């Protein structure tokens, strides 16, 4: 687990670096989901035939950094985030990067596509698991619940949906905007198996991922409780950091904390 | 006469028999889109996702990424209408191999009224990069374009009607194969070029019977058969577009864009006049009310030729 913390630290540094260089990006969600991503890619959970969908496309800096550390993707330059022609588009875009399974950035859509992938694998009787990372704000999209009903009906036990529950969205705290709670109960009532974990505790993260394999007949939703902006004291839970341009001062202070 | 959707349903069944990757999906409109035969033959390759068009598209995309060729069918008002953003991002940004079928085009669903009558679907689909837009007329063309859609790698929108159509056009002059970006000349003439698509072509053929006009079935709206259109415009000097779609954004607009930029030619667009439809007991009543029946088309032809 020590190693995973180190990887997370590196990812967070790269996230800040990338967003600062790019002049814009989404630090808050990228930081809150870092540990989930590191746990998924470095925790010995993902199989060869598995696929990943970043439905919350805006937090791609964390994903780009994680997969680059894991797979050393050829020609991938983190400093090129959001540059013209870059494979590192502001939101994952398949046309520019073959490592993107499906283009996202419009909330709710990646989950549906993930459901389709899981269904496809089942039809072909293939082993692969489909992992989808979503945000809690994203749960406000109706398409999510269309997908949830269908996934349950189709018994897609090869589907694992992780929700980065940092309790914030652009307009502030989620619960001041919509009654997302009780979120776990919502998924349970839609016929899913649900786990709630601390999204910054690797023991809990890895254990939850491993339980995805136990699933008999239901898709699995892992609600990971996180802190938006996690890892940088002045960013945690602050409204500004959903999406912003980092100033030089913010950049330096952040990098100092992540040393 | 059989309805155009019957030919589509049969074509899909045949496709399903010859290609195990072909799937049929719908948002609870199985019988309306004539998918029942496919479902009965291939129950494991058919999915009714329920009244959920956005998820319909997303699931189809996922299936296509796993190597399948999904045909998603709903009414043209709902697909693209209800799931436009999903088609935009999940289908087109991925250039996903998904075939979208919009049924009950235009006024063909007379009784249900405005909310079931799509006047704007071509305008929507034309505007999307990577999208191919096909609008068949007779039974044979419907079958061929359905097949073509499956053969093409990438997104396709197929516009299907509830209206009755002829099985084929035996009198057709040219024996050209159907192709993406193609068109077919149904009648050669010199006084006027008429461009049209879909079942309304039947009204056009009857209206034009006694005139020396050139009629081109422009079944591929995107990409457009620019060469054929320009050649005919040069020959006749006047163009009339007739379509069961809003005057804004359909074939008329596509032709206007082409001609005004490459070969300015007097053009008249006869379509649904920027209104929604309404209930009627039959299709003909709506064509008559909104100026798209053969009498009105004939009037438009006469006016253009006499000018």
Which pLDDT value is given to residue B283?
97
Q: Answer yes or no: do A119 and B59 touch at CB < 8 A.
A: yes
Residue B176 has what pLDDT?
66
Residue of B nearest to A93 (CA): B93
Determine the pLDDT at residue A30. Answer: 97
* B132 φ, ψ (degrees, to nearest 5): -110, 135
pLDDT, averaged across chain A: 96
In chain B, residues with a C-beta closer than 8 Å to the C-beta of A129 are none
Looking at residues B108-115, what average pLDDT do you find? 97
Domains and CATH numbers, chain B: 2-165 (3.40.50.970), 184-306 (3.40.50.920)
Residue B62: which of A103, A108, A120 has the nearest Cβ?
A120
For residue A142, the chain B residues in CB contact (below 8 A) are 54
Q: Is the predicted ipTM greater than 0.85, yes or no?
A: yes
Q: Where are the alpha helices (DSSP H) in chain B?
A: 4-18, 36-41, 53-65, 84-86, 121-126, 139-151, 201-207, 226-236, 251-262, 283-289, 294-306
pLDDT on residue A213: 82
Residues of B in contact with A116 (CB under 8 A): 58-66
Backbone φ/ψ region at B169: left (φ over 0), alpha (ψ -120 to 50), beta = beta
Which residue ranges of chain A lie beneath pLDDT 70? 1
With CA atoms as reference, report the closest residue to B172 among B232, B225, B217, B211.
B217
Which pLDDT belongs to residue A145? 98
- The helix (H) or strand (E) run that includes residue B271 is strand B267-272
Nearest to B49 among A102, A123, A150 (CB): A150
What residues form DSSP beta bridges with B72?
B25, B100
Q: Is the pLDDT assigned to residue B216 strictly greater than 60?
A: yes
Q: How many CA atoms lie within 13 A of B250 on its CB side?
A: 31
Contacts of B151 (CB under 8 A, 6+ apart): none
Q: Rounded to whole angstroms, what are the CA distances from B83 to A57, B18, B105, B108, B167?
A: 19, 30, 17, 21, 32
Assess B66–A contact: CB distance below 8 Å, yes or no: yes
Over residues A146-163, the pLDDT tens digits come to: 999 999 999 999 999 999
Confidence (pTM): 0.97
Which of A51, A52, A92, A116 has the highest number of chain B CBs within 10 A, making it the mutation to test binding with B? A116
User: Using the beta-carbon criterion (under 8 Å), do A113 and B67 form an inter-chain contact?
Assistant: no
Which positions of B are annotated as active-site residues? 53
- At B170 the pLDDT is 78
**Are the beta carbons of B59 and A116 separated by less than 8 Å?**
yes
Inter-chain CB proximity B55 and A93 less than 8 Å: no
Q: Are B99 and B69 in contact (CB under 8 A)?
A: yes
DSSP string computed for B96-122: ---EEEEESBTTSSTTT-GGG-BSSHH
CB B251 within 8 A of CB B197: yes
pLDDT for B152 beyond 70? yes
HSE-up of residue A225 (Cα within 13 Å, Cβ side): 8
Q: 3-state SS of B60-93?
A: HHHHHHCCCEEEEEEECCCCCHHHHHHHHHHHHC
Subunit contact B58:A116, Cβ cutoff 8 A: yes
The ranges assigned to domains in chain A are: 2-257
Q: What is the pLDDT of residue A215?
A: 73
Please give the angle made by the CA atoms of B242, B246 and B252, to the nearest 5 degrees. 45
Q: Closest chain A residue to B60 measured between Cα atoms?
A: A116
Per-residue pLDDT of B154-180, as tens digits, reads 999 999 999 999 999 876 655 568 999
The yes-or-no verdict on residue B209 having pLDDT over 70 is: yes
Token pair belonging to B17: 């028999």
| Best of A94, A96, A111, A113 to mutate (most B CBs within 10 Å, chain B) | A113
Cβ–Cβ below 8 Å for B52 and A149 = yes
- How far, in whole angstroms, is CA B166 from its chain's centroid? 16
**Yes or no: domain A2-257 corresponds to CATH 3.40.50.970:** yes
Distance between CA atoms of B126 and B157, rounded to whole angstroms?
Answer: 9
Q: Which chain A residue has its CA at the smallest distance from B46's CA? A: A123
| pLDDT, tens digit (0-9, with 9 covering 90-100), for B243-264 | 999 999 999 999 999 999 999 9
Query: A193 pairs with which residues across the strands?
Result: A220
Please answer yes or no on whether A143 and B49 come within 8 Å at the CB atom.
Answer: no
Chain A: give the shortest CA distance to residue B47, in Å: 10
């Amino acid at each position: 687990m020590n190693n995973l913390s180190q990887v997370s630290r590196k990812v967070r540094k790269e996230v800040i670096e990338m967003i600062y260089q790019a002049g814009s990006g989404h630090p808050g969600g990228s930081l809150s989901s870092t540990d989930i991503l590191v746990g998924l890619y470095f925790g010995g959970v993902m199989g060869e035939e598995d696929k990943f969908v970043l439905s919350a496309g805006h937090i791609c800096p964390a994903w780009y950094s994680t997969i680059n550390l894991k797979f050393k993707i050829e020609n991938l330059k983190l400093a090129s985030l959001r540059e013209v022609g870059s494979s590192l588009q502001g939101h994952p875009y398949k046309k520019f990067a073959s490592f993107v399974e499906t283009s996202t950035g419009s909330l709710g859509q990646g989950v549906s596509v993930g459901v389709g992938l899981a269904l496809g694998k089942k039809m072909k009787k293939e082993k692969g698991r489909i992992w989808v990372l979503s945000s809690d704000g994203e749960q406000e999209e109706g398409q999510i619940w269309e997908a949830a009903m269908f996934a349950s009906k189709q018994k897609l036990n090869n589907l694992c949906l992780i929700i980065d529950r940092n309790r914030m969205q652009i307009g502030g705290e989620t619960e001041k905007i919509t009654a997302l709670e009780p979120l776990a109960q919502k998924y349970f009532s839609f016929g899913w198996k649900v786990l709630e974990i601390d999204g910054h505790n690797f023991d809990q993260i890895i254990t939850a991922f491993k339980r995805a394999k136990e699933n008999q007949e239901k898709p699995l939703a892992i609600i990971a409780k996180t802190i938006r902006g996690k890892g940088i004291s002045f960013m945690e839970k602050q409204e500004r950091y959903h999406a912003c341009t980092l100033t030089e001062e913010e950049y330096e202070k952040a990098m100092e904390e992540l040393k | 006469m059989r309805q155009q959707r019957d030919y589509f349903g049969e074509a899909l069944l045949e496709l399903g028999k010859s290609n195990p990757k072909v799937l049929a999906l719908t948002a609870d409109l199985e019988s309306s889109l004539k998918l029942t035969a496919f479902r009965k033959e291939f129950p494991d390759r058919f999915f009714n996702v329920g009244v959920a068009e956005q998820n319909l598209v997303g699931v189809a995309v996922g299936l296509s990424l796993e190597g399948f060729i999904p045909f998603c069918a709903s009414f043209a008002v709902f697909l693209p209408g209800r799931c436009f953003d999903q088609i935009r991002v999940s289908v087109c940004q991925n250039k996903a191999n998904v075939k979208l079928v919009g049924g009950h085009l235009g006024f063909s669903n007379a009784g249900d009224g405005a909310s079931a009558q799509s006047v704007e679907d071509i305008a929507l689909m034309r505007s999307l990069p990577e999208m191919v837009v096909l609008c068949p007329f007779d039974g044979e063309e419907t079958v061929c374009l359905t097949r073509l859609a499956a053969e093409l790698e990438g997104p396709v929108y197929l516009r299907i009607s509830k209206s009755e159509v002829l099985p084929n056009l035996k009198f057709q002059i040219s024996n050209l194969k159907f192709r993406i970006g193609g068109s077919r000349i149904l009648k050669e003439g010199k006084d006027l070029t008429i461009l049209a698509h879909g079942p309304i072509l039947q009204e056009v053929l009857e209206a034009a019977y006694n005139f020396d006009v050139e009629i081109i079935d422009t079944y591929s709206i995107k990409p457009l058969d620019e060469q054929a259109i320009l050649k005919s415009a040069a020959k006749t000097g006047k163009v009339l577009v007739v379509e069961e779609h809003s005057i804004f954004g359909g074939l008329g607009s596509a032709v206007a864009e082409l001609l005004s930029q490459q070969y300015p030619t007097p053009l008249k667009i006869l379509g649904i006049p920027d209104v929604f439809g309404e209930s009627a007991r039959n299709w003909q009543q709506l064509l008559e009310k909104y100026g798209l029946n053969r009498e009105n088309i004939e009037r438009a032809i006469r006016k253009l030729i006499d000018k």
